[in-house]
Structure 1
Amino acid sequence: MISLLSSTISIGSQVQLLFNSTKEVTNVRWFIKNKYWILMTELYNGAKISIETSAFNSTLTIRDSTRMWGGQYICNFIYKNLYWQVNYTVDFPLRSQDITNIPARASLMSNGFLGITLECCVWDDGQNYTVLWDPGAMSSVVLRGTWNLCYTLSITTVPAADTNFTCRFQGNVEQVAEAQISIVVIQAGDLYCPQDVFNPSWKETKAGYDAEILCPEGKSGTITRSCNLYGWWAFPYFKCQDIKVLSLLEQAKWLKGGLGMPATEIPLMIGTLKYYTMGRGQYVSTSWDVTAAIQALYTISLAAIENNIVIRVAIMSDFIAVCSQILEYEMPNLWYNIHYEDPAIGSKFTQSLENMLKVLEPQTKDLQIIAPNIELNVLVLESSTLASYSTLNVNPRVQMFFKSTALQELTQTGNLTMASLAINKLSKLLANNYGDSLKGSDHAIKDLILMNVFNINQDGIDVIFERASDSNKTKVDLSRCVLWDYNLFDGNGGWSAEECVTYNKDNLTVCSCSHQMSLSLVTFIPTAQEECRWKSLSLFSRSTSIASLTLSLIIYLVEWKFIVKTLISFCHQLSAVNIALCWLIADLCYLGSSCIMSTTPTPDLCIAAAFFKHLFYTAASFWMLFEGLFLFQQLVLGFLKLQKKALVVIMLAIGYLCPLIIALVTLSLYHPSGTYINADTCFLNVDNGAINTFSAPVLLISFMNIFVVIVGIWKLMKPSQSEKSEEGGEGSAKERLEESAEGSTIESAEESAKQRSEERAKERLEERSEESAEEQAKERMEERSEETIEGGDDKEDLIAIFKPLLILTTIFALTWVLQLAMSVMCGVQGFLDFISTLLNSFQRLHISHIHLSRSGRPYCGD
């Protein structure tokens, strides 16, 4: 029979079952059967299971138990050549955190309420639960999905006030577990977020509260969305994992714990994971899925090494293919989110590869496995065929040197096997954590990282790694050799140079690392001199811009009452203030995002910084657009007179409403899918085209203003009507002087000619009187347009707009042309980056320069 040795059964405690027999029995085996493992599954010694068997009894110990370990335990044995079995049922008590509320909180409209169903769901562990609602009655049972039981309560009338509904679970264990669902009533006059017309699942929610819905079919988890205090929906936060990938992870954890036969289950799990990551199905589509897949790899490798499972070459090839595919994923912000969800995920990934290399079946000849991002070389070194180095088939070339004398001593006792892995794109998975030996400067990890494992543990082995430097590097001393230390940063891992010495020769970097570890990860970190130079230049230019813009705003405000005399001066002075203000806020957000990236980043702060940078840099461009349109209107359409109030409305609509719409639409399109920002820059994503919502309007505005500048040059160089009349008057006066010098005979002819000209003038006046009123009005409006340009003060005001618009539009357009060129011309990117940074800074400095160098006249910056 089986008896319980533990005094109590609770989550996290140790559970012991004792099979005791008065007769001697043989072949004692333990099995479990529950809702998760429908068939009897054998238990083995593992991380959570230990089995001790003697002739008359057998003890099963379960450590750190969870509800998943509840069910029927079966002990099989042989007595007198017959199979016998006894069983014992273990039920774990339900806890409040084991209950899933659907929804966790709900808002109900006091008017027009159509009803709502509340659900409390638990994993179906086979217990018979009785569930009571307060307030309410006994609920009905609904089977949801495959593993869950959901108990429901239907509400048909709106509560008079906010109410907490409690569901209480009573199972086979006497302990009672309960959970609450909060119902918030939206009264008349309360602010609330309306139901989303694009996704009706988001119901009305009271301002200041969160709404929560389940992930789509096939995904496990919830999606949360906040309604801010002003009644505006925030963007959803997804925490969804593929059910199949999550189920595989749970199976791997059970296998590691001792449930199942590792030799049989590990190859099946690796094959399944290869199908999930490389098959046609979209099983791995979020950062949570990638995290679950890496955790499954890590758990499988631990199960293999703890149970001494020999991994065949075919299984190792599948394992490397899965790891290579994970490194190939380039979903937007994927690695940023993964590091945020699990800071130790990089160490788990590398340890899984190391563990599998340790249990790889012995090789009698050299082996090579090549995947897109991982190359495995296994060298079998015999005393008669020792080589001084080996070369990995990667670019740039990698050679590994080792001392022949040391190898000869090692191979005297047998062959020496050396397994080497060259891993590409691993730097994005390993956190940018640097130990004390690398403090004091910025670093950048190279993509290619080496891993070596020996089949013996030997102290004092010096392994020298040699790698050709990049061809476009001008200096050879910009690399260091480091090791990945799993113990740094509270077990999350970090880079350390304490056990490595770096040598630089010609275009090579040689690393000599002495260690006693089986794993050495070596990468090459360029010193931050060059990168720090660019970063310092960028920060200096932004700081200079902020100081210049602040000075400009002060000058604008002080000179306002002295400068603003006409409608034109009012418009361009107000535009200049808003351009400087937008640039100032955007530059402050830039510096703030730089601080965010230099510390531990959070997605919300990075998204907020990207949104405000997008909004205010775009707003500055749209205020430039208004400057150009206003100048065009004054030069070409001067007869269109606008009132001051109408101009202010147009200015605000162009300057702020249009950029706000663009920024909000961009956020709504890209943020739900996690593709809004690039976490490395805290700005719009380049890979999926989100950056185009910023660069396209800016470039279009620049080209439009260039057209306005060309029109302005043509109009200002064109002679006015007064200049033409003056030239005509001077010519006629000169002719009269010449004619007065002639004789009397000529005077009589002139008098007769004068009479004829007067008669012709009268005829022309009669013809003009017959012209239509519309043509006369059109002529008068054209004359007024010319007069507007000829006016002294207005003309000076227009020139005050035209000059900075000409200079800054050219600089602005040139800056963005260089930014585009940098994305396609990698060879001269450094030079273009330098010029672009200077021009970008010069735009702001020009504002202050104009005001400090001019006396009394306003200007309107871009």
Structure 2
Amino acid sequence: MMTGVTADSSADIFASVDVLSKLSTVSSETNTKFGGDVVNTFLSTASNLTDNSRTAAWDPKRKTSGAITLLNAIESFVKMLEPSNASFVIETPNILLQGCFFNSTLDKNYTKSFKARLGVSMMINYTDIQHMVENVTNITVSSTVYISLSDLIDVTGNAFQGYFLNSLIQSTSISTGSSITPTGIGISMTFENDNKTQSTDNAVCVFWDKNASSGTSRTGDWSSYGCQTIVTGNVTTCRCNHLTSFAVLMAMTVLQDLLIVSQITQIGLGVSIGALCICLFIEKIVWNSVVKSNISHFRHTALINIAFSLLAADICFVASDFPLVKKWGLLCSGITFLSHFFYLALFFWTLCQSLMLFHQLTFVFHQLRKKMYMTVSFGVGFGCPFLIAMGTFFYYFPRGTYRNDRVCWLKPTGGPIYAFIIPAGTIVIVNFLIMIVVIAKLMRPSVSDGSKAEDKETAKNILKAVLILTPVFGLTWALGFATMQPATKDVSTVFNYAFSIMNAFQGLFILITSCATEKKVRETFLKKIFNIEPKSSSTSTKSEFTSKAAPS
């Protein structure tokens, strides 16, 4: 065992970390047990390496990965402690260890407090431990607090860009002395914030997930999965349904930008929801007057379902912002599923609209029947999104990688987000290709002259909607994907503002392109609601009267 280690150079520090890591790994693989003196020596060595006087000696490029390696080594080695007393305490300058040894007699909660020095405490309900005691004879629960380790760890992963550690790190683990792995153990912890001048509005409880992808060269990342955050003054309470290494993260930058983005989103979503409700109301009023042919029926059916899908998705977006939804994991996952489904339905209905237009103009003498179109459209428009959303949920939810740790949406790293990006991106590309073909067809006199004037006008309206909405939807979600990628603060801010504006006002774009600018819909609505006759109609009537009155 390394004793009295003094490592003043970066090479010495990382060599010492490597030795401790290998020692911990070999001991764990051979299931070796150690007394308190050996564990004390191990922790003293690690304490020397993480002392503030040596922080500057850690290589900046390797310090985070090195500190995480040391954290994992300590957490593993502590589990091999064989205590001589029911309660034990090991203290070094920078690492403190407290724990208890349990057997079949257990009638109180596991509670440990480091508040006097560090403002950290933890509690496990005795019923969780009692459940394990029934299956094994001896259980050791230990809690380790790291005083200076957080100074060596930068938050550089994808999940919490712009955040920093604002508390000490603590690890609580359970050793059973057997092959049984502790599961279903909940823990409640309190942390005092290190930076007491920082706003606690965005505090988030996290744990070190060894299996997560960080977007960097190292393995592992911070995650808030299974943890609930409760802030009271300068104290953050974390309630998690598993055991490992925990800490509290805070946003590094001032929240003014996020506040403005949030306000833009809230205002925009209000406008979008209002616009979509107006759009659906207009469609109800004018339906019987404007739907006179199969192609117009297809067009307005698609429009109603596009508006409905976006309206439902916007409502889910608003609901996900409530604190109650974020705290209830299952409710947040349900909102994530519905958002995924309705946003996909939005894209698939635009695809139905484009394919219908393509078919009508390409196969002039083989027009679609209404029943066939309705069956296929509803199957594609809602069936495909449902299958994709359900498949994504059932595959990733059991693995704990389904939704984002901070918002009720698909996890931005790994597979879940691609279950939205790939279908949506493919549809945008297909719609663009169809637009090119349709524009070419409409410019050919043989096709234009062979169609009814009303159908030709409807086709142009569909083309106009597809021509405008496809880039809007595509650009919006391209910006949304960009906000989830690593970027500098300035670039990230631009993407966040752009996505918030585009996403929030999609409903207004639909109202403008599909109702306000469509002449027949506009005139019919004004006539039915305000009894305003269109100018073209008056002129036509006057011309007809003059023609009849003139002598032959």
Q: Does 1:592 align with 2:319?
A: yes
Report what 1:857 is aligned to: 521
Question: What runs of 5+ residues in structure 2 fail to find an aligned partner?
Answer: 1-26, 46-70, 98-110, 124-141, 157-163, 172-188, 207-230, 241-247, 524-552
Secondary structure of 2:520's aligned partner: coil
Find the counterpart in structure 2 of residue 578 from structure 1: 305
1:690 Cα deviation from its structure 2 partner: 1.0
Give the letter aligned to residue 814 of structure 1.
L
Does residue 828 of structure 1 match 2:491?
A: yes
- Measured in 1, the distance between the counterparts of 2:389 and 2:249 equals 43
Pairing partner for 1:815 from 458, 476, 487: 476
Partner of 1:550: 277
SS state at 2:327 partner: coil
Q: Which amino acid aligns with 1:531?
A: L
CA distance in 2, matches of 1:394, 1:642: 60
Change (3 A) 1:527 1:643: same
- Distance change (3 Å), C-alpha of 1:845 and 1:615: same
Q: Report the Cα distance in structure 1 between the residues aligned to 2:302 and 2:232, rounded to whole angstroms.
A: 56
2:291 to 548, 564, 572: 564
Q: After the TM superposition, which residues 12-411 of structure 1 pair with which residues of structure 2 at under 5 Å, given as runs?
A: 262-263=36-37, 309=90, 347-348=120-121, 352=143, 354=145, 375=152
CA contact (8 A) 1:443 1:527 kept: no
Counterpart residue number, 2:503: 840
Distance between the aligned counterparts of 2:410 and 2:170, measured in 1? 19
Which secondary structure does the structure 2 equivalent of 1:676 belong to?
A: coil
Aligned position for 1:148: none
Deviation track 1:165-192 (CA, whole Å, cap 9, x = no partner) reads xxxxxxxxxxxxxxxxxxxxxxxxxxxx
CA distance in 2, matches of 1:587, 1:427: 38
How far is the alpha carbon of 1:270 from its aligned partner?
11
Contact 1:347 1:492 in 2 (8 A): no
Candidates 201, 218, 237, aligned match of 1:442: 201
Alpha-carbon shift at residue 268 of structure 1 (Å): 9.1
- Aligned partner of residue 270 in structure 2, secondary structure: helix
One-letter code aligned to 1:576: L
Give 1:811 deviation, angstroms.
1.6
Match of 2:440 among 714, 727, 730: 714
Are residues 1:803 and 2:464 paired?
A: yes
Letter in 1 for 2:296: S
Structure 1 residue 640: Cα displacement: 1.8
Structure 2 CA distance for partners of 1:825 and 1:717, relative to 1, 3 Å: farther
Change in 2 beyond 3 A, CA 1:431/1:523: same
Please give the per-residue CA displacement for 1:130-170, whole angstroms capped at 9, x wherever unaligned.
Answer: xxxxxxxxxxxxxxxxxxxxxxxxxxxxxxxxxxxxxxxxx
Corresponding position: 1:536 with 2:257: no
Give runs of aligned pairs for residues 308-707 of structure 1, distance below 5 A: 309=90, 347-348=120-121, 352=143, 354=145, 375=152, 442-443=201-202, 488=235, 526-596=253-323, 601-707=327-433
For each residue in 1:385-412, what CA deviation from the matched residue of structure 2 results, as whole angstroms up to 9, or x when unmatched?
A: xxxxxxxx9899xxxxxxxxxxxxxxxx
Q: Are the counterparts in 2 of residues 563 and 858 from structure 1 also a CA contact under 8 Å?
A: no
Shift of 1:536: 1.2
Distance 2:337 2:166 in 1: 33
Structure 1 Cα separation of the partners of residues 250 and 271 of structure 2 = 37
Specify the structure having the higher radius of gyration (Cα): 1
Please tell me the root mean square deviation across aligned C-alpha atoms, in Å: 5.2
> C-alpha offsets along residues 582-627 of structure 1, whole Å, 9 cap, x if unaligned?
111111111111114x666111101101100000000010000001
Q: How many residues align?
A: 374
Tell me what 1:191 maps to: none
Structure 1 residues 556, 427: CA separation in 2 closer, same or farther (over 3 Å shift)?
Answer: farther
Distance 1:557 1:267 in 2: 78
Distance in 2 separating the partners of 1:786 and 1:555 = 29
Q: Identity over aligned residues, as a percent?
A: 25
Distance 1:540 1:828 in 2: 23
Match of 2:547 in 1: none
Q: How many angstroms does 1:821 deviate by?
A: 3.7
Q: Which residue of 1 aligns with 2:128?
A: none
CA, structure 1 residues 425+562, in 2 after alignment: closer, same or farther (shift >3 Å)? farther
Change (3 A) 1:854 1:679: same
Deviations 1:513-569 (A, max 9, x none): xxxxxxxx9988654322111111112211211111111111111111111111111
Secondary structure of 1:671's counterpart equals: helix
Deviations 1:684-728, CA, capped at 9 Å, x for gaps: 11211210010111111111111111112212223x14xxxxxxx
DSSP 3-state at the match of 1:672: helix
Q: 8 Å contact 1:552–1:580 — kept in the other structure?
A: yes
Aligned AA for 2:202?
H
Q: Verify the 8 A CA contact 1:298 1:352 in the aligned structure 2.
A: no
Letter in 2 for 1:442: D
1:487/1:561 Cα in 2 relative to 1: closer, same or farther (>3 Å)? closer
Q: CA deviation digits over 1:427-457, x for unaligned, max 9?
A: 999889989x98998335799xxxxxxxxxx
Write the distance in 2 (CA, Å) between the matches of 1:852 and 1:613.
Answer: 27
Kept in 1: contact 2:167–2:249 (CA 8 A): no
Deviations 1:66-109 (A, max 9, x none): xxxxxxxxxxxxxxxxxxxxxxxxxxxxxxxxxxxxxxxxxxxx
Aligned pair in 2 of structure 1 residues 491, 637: CA closer, same or farther (>3 Å)? closer
Asked if the contact 1:549/1:848 (under 8 Å) is kept, the reply is yes
Tell me whether 819-828 or 679-688 shows the greater mean CA deviation. Answer: 819-828
Pair 857,490 (structure 1): closer, same or farther in 2 beyond 3 Å:
closer
Task: Indicate if the aligned counterparts of 2:257 and 2:493 stay in contact, CA closer than 8 A.
Answer: no
Paired amino acid for 1:816: W
How big is the shift at 1:644? 1.2
Aligned partners of 1:486 and 1:492 also within 8 Å: no
- The alpha-carbon distance between structure 1 residues 301 and 592, as it changes in their structure 2 partners (threshold 3 A), is farther
Q: How far apart are 1:579 and its partner, in Å?
A: 0.6
More helix by share: 2
- Structure 2 length as normaliser, TM-score? 0.56
SS, match of residue 682 in structure 1: coil
**Contact 2:120–2:191 (CA under 8 A) maintained in structure 1:** no
Richer in strand (by share): 1
Distance 2:393 2:470 in 1: 28
**What amino acid does structure 2 have at the position aligned with 1:608?**
G
Instruction: Determine the C-alpha separation between the residues in 1 that align with 2:344 and 2:239.
Output: 40
Structure 1: distance between partners of 2:121 and 2:427 = 49
> Separation in 1 of the partners of 2:391 and 2:406?
22
